[in-house]
């Protein structure tokens, strides 16, 4: 083939040596090449032209002599093909005219443009502008500047005073071997203030651009280019043909411009290489599409082909009858329109028989007693005659030997006597050829120990045996298959494993592994197989066809069909069910028939059912769930619970109960019936409550006395009837309550707790009477989120724990009794104190003097959010004694007595202030001066005394 040559562009007047062809000619067999320019052979003898590996080199190309259309002819013994044309053109760029340009004026805020007026050139130019002096090229500046790559003009939106300057149009032409640029004379632009001029071609705000296809959807291959000035569509096909519209838009309006894309052409059907017989016919078809519709012509070995003698050319169809040797060669179909030319190439061959590309196998092994097939497939045109021989003996069809017309040799029931050389001969009128192979007869492969049928329970292991004999000169491999599907024996985590020789081990056999197992012993020449059946017994499969019939209020009838018993008789069935109120499956009944009635269901309840079969090996998978059924309705059978009441406002009787759960309602139209009377009264008052979720009924009557005893009872009802009454309960009518008084000056005391890092405080309130409740909330919180504390009995003080330090709280107090909660007191406001220091005294040291010890420490420095240190507390204790010394702030030392014996003293030193006691520093002091005993705490809370010889104790 010939790589497509490319168009080339040279600068006019340049003297150079350059190839207009990118690569040489590639073919098998090797070829030579020649060139044409404008249809005329290139004079290779001219010293200006040189062929180098098929490349054409032109020295000192000239516009008049060398511009034109070049084509390469590739030639070898197969024929000649012609490359597509490549145009050699000469580029040029003249200078801008020497005369100056007229100055231009623009008004501030308006638009303007400067014309480039490029000089004569070929091919197209690229444009840039620079201001004042080279190379100060223009930048977009937020989109105010735009350079058209079609005209070269410079457009300006919303001119500003600092845009006044001299502007130069800079043009560049790019060619294959060089680049040339030139620039214009100065374009003077002056921007004047307070103008009311109109923007020319450029708008402000600077518009955005987007593309769409007018007659269809925009191709997805357009990508991000659909939102820019240049629409890119790679790999064009006919589907992309159509009208495209560019829209420019901003907040002030929009404008559009349309253009049409037409695909030049492409091949729809091409010819392919052919080998045909002499005297037969050749039919080739080429179909190309394009706009305008392309014309098609034909070439043979680079020369035009037209209708004559045995050749018929009809557009894209070529027909050659009574083919002869001279018709061999390279054919080309050429489609062309005004947009370009495309080529399709194919070879027509007529040749003598040839075994070089597909000879007979040199060594053909075969098993004794088996069969062998030997192929004979030479390349030949026309089709050759094929026959086989063994030595000098011509082979013909017999009971054991078959020679097919397409050259296949088959030998059945092979014996040692069949070993030897076999030759295939191919012949046509152009010539002859032959190829020879050697048949080697080997011992046949036989199964000597076949696998036996097996019967196992699910989960058990089983080994299937398979041994075979074979020809010792060849390798033997074993494979296993289950029901014809090959098994993977190499997976270490699988259930199938190789045993010695060819045995198969099945680990933890499952029901899905039952079936027919086939063992195959195989060599390169033959194979032998044997099979056995494996039965796996296990729990039954799921029953099928579960249906629900004859639905009553508390029972349903179930029917189903028997599933697979998996080789063990089904012993019983377990019926499982669940309702919407109990999503888990529950055992409902067992039996051994394929139908049953399930009792004990709740009326007016949705149920689903499953059936599980079981045998002596276990329970199987459940059946598919039945469709959901709802049992029939029935009157309630139980009474509501939790009957009680009391409290409320004056002249009220409040009765409460626990709403009945869904499973006890038994039907729709559900509600409650209340009956109540004064104690010892013969008459009951009956009221209905129709809301199923109700839990409270209030009876109001001005004649009700406070705290009067009533007997009450309750029952449920639904559409089917009424249930039983509950037990009678005694309820008091409402009491009368009073408002407590809250003292305006509450007592706020700190409550130190050294064991808790966040200090807590208490609030104490003086309360007037009755049992009381405290409501408190932070200043920036809503009263609705208040926390509550209730007092016990008639206490008039309460302790509130868990408050935040340095926080402002609001507090109210309310009295309550069995009649309910009274009105709240007036609100009062208190602020908790700052917490004590979070650090213990540090750098503790001591000095003994006889029976006394002096202990010193560093003053504790407080943080801004901590309360000030007013002093220190020193707790010291030894066996049988303990004492506490409280020191003021100015003292950071204390003298204490030591035990008379050699015992030790445990010291705890902590700061204190209005926020409470700070963290403690604990140390141990002995009579031995200069020695420290430090308390270490182990993770398991076992205490050890470690003796350390230190001058100071470091916490």
Structural domain includes residue 2: no
- pLDDT value at position 761? 34
Are the CB atoms for 296 and 331 separated by under 8 Å? no
Same domain membership, residue 296 and residue 249 = no
Which residues, listed in sequence order, are joined to residue 168 by a DSSP beta bridge? 130
Q: Write the pLDDT tens digit of every residue in 574-607.
A: 999 999 888 899 999 999 999 999 999 999 999 9
Same domain membership, residue 515 and residue 451 = yes
Question: If we measure between CA atoms, which residue out of 849, 841, 852 comes closest to residue 908?
Answer: 841
Structural domain includes residue 894: no
Which DSSP helix (H) or strand (E) runs through 319?
strand 317-320
Q: Which domain holds residue 574?
A: 544-619
Which DSSP helix (H) or strand (E) runs through 157?
none
Same domain membership, residue 305 and residue 321 = yes
Which residues, listed in sequence order, are joined to residue 778 by a DSSP beta bridge? 809
CA-to-CA distance for 385 and 891, rounded, in angstroms? 128
Same domain membership, residue 316 and residue 379 = no
Question: If we measure between CA atoms, which residue out of 7, 10, 6, 5 comes closest to residue 176?
Answer: 10
- pLDDT value at position 31? 63
Q: How far is CA 155 from the centre of its chain?
A: 48
- 804, two tokens: 């935040």
Is the entire prediction scored with pTM above 0.95? no
Torsion of CA 220, 225, 231, 234, to 10 degrees: -50
Backbone angles phi, psi at 378, to 5 degrees: -75, 165
Are the CB atoms for 231 and 246 separated by under 8 Å? yes
Are the CB atoms for 155 and 146 separated by under 8 Å? yes
Are the CB atoms for 71 and 35 separated by under 8 Å? yes
- pLDDT value at position 351? 66
Mean pLDDT of all residues in the chain? 82
DSSP-based three-state secondary structure for 325: helix
CA-to-CA distance for 812 and 342, rounded, in angstroms? 98
DSSP3 helix / strand / coil % (the chain, rounded to 5): 5, 50, 50
**Domains of the chain: total:** 9
Structural domain includes residue 13: no
- 718, two tokens: 């639904």
Q: Write the pLDDT tens digit of every residue in 893-920.
A: 888 887 776 667 788 888 888 888 888 8
Burial of residue 308, with CB atoms counted within 10 A of its CB: 0-12 exposed, 13-18 middle, 19 or more buried: exposed
Structural domain includes residue 279: yes
Which residues, listed in sequence order, are joined to residue 579 by a DSSP beta bridge? 582, 607
Tell me the mean pLDDT in the region 28-38. Answer: 73
Same domain membership, residue 279 and residue 256 = no
In the predicted model, is pLDDT for residue 727 greater than 90? Answer: yes
Structural domain includes residue 866: no
- 497, two tokens: 């494993």
Listed in sequence order, the residues at least 6 apart from 849 whose beta carbon sits closer than 8 Å to its beta carbon are none
- pLDDT value at position 776? 87
Paired sense of beta strands 32-37 and 40-41, if any:
antiparallel
Look up the CATH number of the domain holding residue 290.
2.60.40.10
Same domain membership, residue 235 and residue 170 = no
- Alpha helices (runs of H) in 717-825, residue ranges in sequence order: none
Q: Write the pLDDT tens digit of every residue in 735-765.
A: 765 445 444 344 444 444 333 332 323 333 3
In the predicted model, is pLDDT for residue 298 greater than 80? Answer: yes
Same domain membership, residue 456 and residue 530 = yes
- pLDDT value at position 180? 87
DSSP 8-state class, residue 75: E
CA-to-CA distance for 873 and 887, rounded, in angstroms? 6
Please state which of the ranges 559-563, 649-653, 722-726 shows the lowest mean pLDDT.
649-653
Same domain membership, residue 558 and residue 481 = no
- Is residue 820 very low, low, confident or very high in pLDDT (cuts 50, 70, 90)? low
DSSP 8-state class, residue 162: G
CA-to-CA distance for 415 and 368, rounded, in angstroms? 5
Torsion of CA 726, 732, 734, 737, to 10 degrees: -140
- Is residue 288 very low, low, confident or very high in pLDDT (cuts 50, 70, 90)? confident
**Taking the CB of residue 606, how many other CB atoms lie within 10 A of it?**
13
Structural domain includes residue 795: yes
For the chain, what is the radius of gyration of the CA atoms? 54
In the predicted model, is pLDDT for residue 870 greater than 70? Answer: yes
Tell me which of 732, 752, 774 is where a domain ends.
732
In the predicted model, is pLDDT for residue 629 greater than 90? Answer: yes
CA-to-CA distance for 125 and 148, rounded, in angstroms? 11
- pLDDT value at position 18? 36
Structural domain includes residue 465: yes
- pLDDT value at position 570? 95
Higher pLDDT, 714 or 917: 714
Give CA separation, 837 vs 831, 862, 911, in Å. 19, 6, 7
Please state which of the ranges 106-120, 465-479, 772-786 shows the lowest mean pLDDT.
772-786
Angle at 129 between CA 128 and CA 133, to 5 degrees: 130
- 898, two tokens: 């030591």
Tell me which of 489, 507, 537 is where a domain ends.
537
Tell me which of 482, 509, 537 is where a domain ends.
537
- pLDDT value at position 582? 81
Beta strands in 541-580 (DSSP E): 544-549, 556-561, 572-579
Same domain membership, residue 438 and residue 357 = yes
Q: Write the pLDDT tens digit of every residue in 656-685.
A: 999 999 999 999 999 999 999 998 899 999
Please state which of the ranges 89-93, 335-339, 886-890 shows the lowest mean pLDDT.
886-890
Question: If we measure between CA atoms, which residue out of 817, 836, 832, 819 comes closest to residue 776?
Answer: 832
Question: If we measure between CA atoms, which residue out of 531, 480, 473, 540 comes closest to residue 504?
Answer: 480
Which residues, listed in sequence order, are joined to residue 431 by a DSSP beta bridge? 428
- Is residue 17 very low, low, confident or very high in pLDDT (cuts 50, 70, 90)? very low
Q: Write the pLDDT tens digit of every residue in 132-172.
A: 888 888 876 666 888 888 889 998 888 888 889 999 999 99
Helices (H) and strands (E) in the chain, counts: 1, 83
Structural domain includes residue 567: yes
Please state which of the ranges 439-453, 554-568, 824-838, 893-907 shows the lowest mean pLDDT.
893-907
Same domain membership, residue 312 and residue 296 = yes
SS3 string of 239-276?
A: HHCEEEEEEEEECCEEEEEEEEECCCEEEEECCCCEEC
Same domain membership, residue 295 and residue 222 = no
SS3 string of 580-592?
A: CCEEEEEEEEEEC
Same domain membership, residue 568 and residue 511 = no
CA-to-CA distance for 2 and 4, rounded, in angstroms? 6
Backbone angles phi, psi at 138, to 5 degrees: -65, 145
Which residues, listed in sequence order, are joined to residue 715 by a DSSP beta bridge? 673
Reported residue count of the chain is 955
DSSP-based three-state secondary structure for 784: helix
**% pLDDT > 90, the chain:** 38
């Amino acid at each position: 083939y010939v790589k497509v040559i490319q168009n080339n562009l040279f600068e006019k007047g340049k003297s150079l040596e350059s190839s207009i062809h990118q690569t040489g000619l590639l073919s098998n067999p090797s070829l030579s090449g020649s060139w044409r320019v404008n249809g005329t052979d290139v004079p290779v003898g001219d010293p200006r032209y040189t062929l180098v590996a098929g490349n054409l080199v032109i020295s000192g190309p000239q516009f008049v002599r060398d511009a034109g259309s070049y084509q390469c002819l590739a030639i070898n013994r197969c024929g000649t093909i012609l490359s597509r044309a490549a145009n050699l053109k000469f580029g040029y760029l003249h200078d801008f005219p020497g005369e100056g340009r007229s100055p231009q004026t623009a008004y501030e805020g308006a638009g303007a443009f400067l014309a480039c007026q490029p000089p004569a050139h070929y091919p197209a130019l690229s444009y840039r502008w620079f201001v004042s002096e080279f190379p100060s090229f223009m930048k977009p500046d937020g989109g105010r500047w735009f350079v058209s790559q079609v005209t070269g003009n410079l457009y300006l939106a919303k001119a500003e005073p600092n845009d006044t300057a001299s502007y130069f149009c800079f043009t560049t032409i790019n060619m294959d071997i060089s680049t040339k640029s030139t620039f214009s004379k100065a374009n003077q632009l002056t921007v004047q203030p307070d103008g009311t001029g109109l923007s020319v071609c450029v708008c402000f705000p600077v518009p955005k651009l987007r593309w769409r296809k007018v007659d269809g959807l925009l191709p997805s291959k357009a990508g991000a280019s659909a939102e820019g000035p240049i629409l890119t569509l790679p790999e064009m096909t006919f589907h992309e043909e159509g009208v495209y519209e560019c829209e420019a838009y901003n907040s002030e309006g929009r404008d559009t411009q349309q253009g049409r894309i037409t695909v030049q052409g492409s091949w729809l059907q091409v010819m392919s290489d052919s080998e045909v017989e002499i005297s037969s016919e050749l039919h080739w078809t080429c179909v190309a599409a394009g706009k305008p519709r392309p014309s098609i012509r034909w070439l043979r070995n680079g020369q035009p082909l037209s209708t004559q003698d045995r050749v018929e050319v009809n557009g894209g169809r070529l027909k050659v009858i009574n083919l002869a040797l001279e018709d061999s060669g390279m054919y080309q179909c050429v489609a062309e329109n005004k947009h370009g030319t495309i080529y399709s190439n194919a070879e027509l061959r007529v040749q003598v028989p040839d075994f070089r590309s597909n000879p007979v196998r040199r060594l053909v092994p075969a098993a004794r007693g088996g069969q062998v097939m030997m192929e004979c497939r030479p390349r030949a045109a026309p089709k050759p005659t094929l026959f086989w021989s063994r030595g000098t003996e011509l082979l013909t069809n017999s009971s054991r030997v078959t020679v097919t017309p397409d050259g296949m040799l088959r030998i059945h029931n092979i014996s040692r006597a069949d070993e030897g050389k076999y030759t295939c001969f191919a012949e046509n009128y152009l010539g002859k050829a032959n190829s020879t192979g050697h048949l080697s007869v080997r011992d046949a492969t036989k199964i000597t120990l076949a696998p036996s049928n097996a019967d196992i329970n699910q989960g058990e292991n089983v080994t299937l045996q398979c041994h075979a004999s074979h020809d010792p000169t060849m390798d033997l491999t074993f494979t296993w298959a289950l029901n014809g599907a090959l098994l993977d024996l190499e997976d270490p985590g699988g259930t199938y494993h190789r045993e010695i020789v060819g045995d198969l081990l099945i680990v933890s056999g499952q029901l899905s592994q039952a079936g027919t197992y086939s063992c195959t012993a195989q060599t390169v020449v033959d194979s032998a197989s044997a099979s056995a059946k494996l039965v796996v017994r296990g729990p039954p499969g799921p029953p099928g066809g579960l249906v629900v019939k004859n639905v009553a209020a508390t029972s349903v009838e179930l029917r189903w069909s028997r599933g697979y018993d998996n080789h063990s008789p089904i012993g019983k069935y377990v019926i499982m069910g669940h309702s919407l109120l109990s999503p888990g499956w529950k055992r409902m009944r067992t039996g051994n028939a394929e139908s049953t009635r399930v009792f004990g269901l709740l009326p007016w309840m949705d149920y689903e059912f499953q059936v599980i079969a079981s045998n002596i090996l276990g329970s199987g998978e459940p059946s598919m769930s039945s469709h959901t059924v709802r049992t029939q309705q029935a009157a309630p059978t139980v009474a509501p619970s939790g009957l009680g009441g009391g409290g409320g406002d004056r002249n009220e009787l409040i009765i409460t109960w626990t709403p009945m759960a869904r499973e006890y309602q038994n039907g729709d139209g559900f509600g409650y019936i209340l009956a109540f009377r004064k104690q010892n009264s013969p008459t009951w008052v009956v009221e209905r409550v129709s809301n199923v979720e109700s839990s409270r009924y209030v009876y109001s009557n001005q004649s009700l006395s406070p705290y009067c005893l009533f007997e009450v009872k309750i029952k449920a009802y639904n559409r089917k009837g009424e249930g039983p009454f509950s037990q009678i309960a005694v309820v008091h009518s409402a009491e009368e309550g009073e408002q407590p008084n809250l003292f305006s000056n509450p007592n706020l005391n700190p409550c130190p707790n050294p064991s808790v890092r966040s200090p807590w405080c208490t609030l104490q309130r003086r309360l007037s009477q009755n049992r009381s409740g405290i409501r408190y909330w932070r200043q920036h919180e809503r009263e609705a989120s208040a926390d509550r504390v209730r007092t016990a009995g008639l206490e008039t003080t309460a302790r509130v724990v868990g408050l935040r330090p340095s926080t402002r709280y609001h507090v109210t107090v309310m009295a309550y009794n069995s009649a309910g909660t009274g009105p709240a007191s007036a609100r009062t406001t208190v602020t908790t104190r700052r917490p004590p220091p979070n650090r213990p005294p540090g750098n503790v040291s001591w000095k003994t003097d006889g029976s006394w010890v002096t202990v010193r420490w560093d003053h504790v420095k407080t943080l801004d959010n901590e309360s000030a240190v007013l002093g220190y507390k020193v707790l010291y204790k030894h066996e049988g004694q303990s004492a506490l010394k409280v020191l003021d702030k100015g003292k950071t030392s204390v003298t204490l007595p030591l035990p008379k014996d050699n015992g030790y003293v445990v010291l705890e030193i902590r700061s204190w202030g209005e926020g409470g006691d700070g963290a403690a520093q604990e140390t141990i002091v002995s009579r031995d001066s200069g020695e420290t005993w430090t308390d270490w705490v182990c993770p398991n809370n076992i205490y050890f005394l470690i003796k350390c010889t230190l001058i100071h104790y470091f916490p």
